[in-house]
Amino acid sequence: MNYLIPNGLAEPATAKTLKRIEEEKNREATERAIREKLLLKNVEDLDDKRIELNRKANEKGHLFAAVNEGDLVEEIKKQTGLDINPQHILLKEHLKEVGEHEVEVRGGEKTAKMKVVINALAD
């Protein structure tokens, strides 16, 4: 009490303080539920979507720079307007070849499979 309360690191457990803490917990729980519901809706909306990317590649179809989760998040946002966190995109490895790839997006209990088509850019 000589250190924590004077330095603002703790406060006495009064009825007013306990009520404020309970209200904050309820507000955070509500916000978390809304975020989870939005994530599930976004994942459902991505099911069977087709995302196209244009990347530089050599004549054998190998990309000069691999496509990662962050790249996919940007393209999803551009092409569909949906916000997805990169950690929800499940890639076994980064995409390094031109062509069609199946990518899973998981949010909670829902999993969506979308097609990612990588086209080679002409030099």
- The residue among 104, 97, 94, 92 whose CA lies nearest residue 47 is 104
Counting Cβ atoms within 10 Å, is residue 83 exposed (0-12), middle (13-18) or buried (19+)? exposed
Q: In this model, does residue 29 exceed pLDDT 80?
A: yes
Domains and CATH numbers, the chain: 41-121 (3.10.430.100)
Task: Give the global pTM.
Answer: 0.71
Q: Which of 11-15, 25-29, 55-59 has maximum average pLDDT?
A: 25-29
For 79-121, the pLDDT digits (tens) are 988 888 899 999 999 999 999 999 999 987 888 899 999 999 8
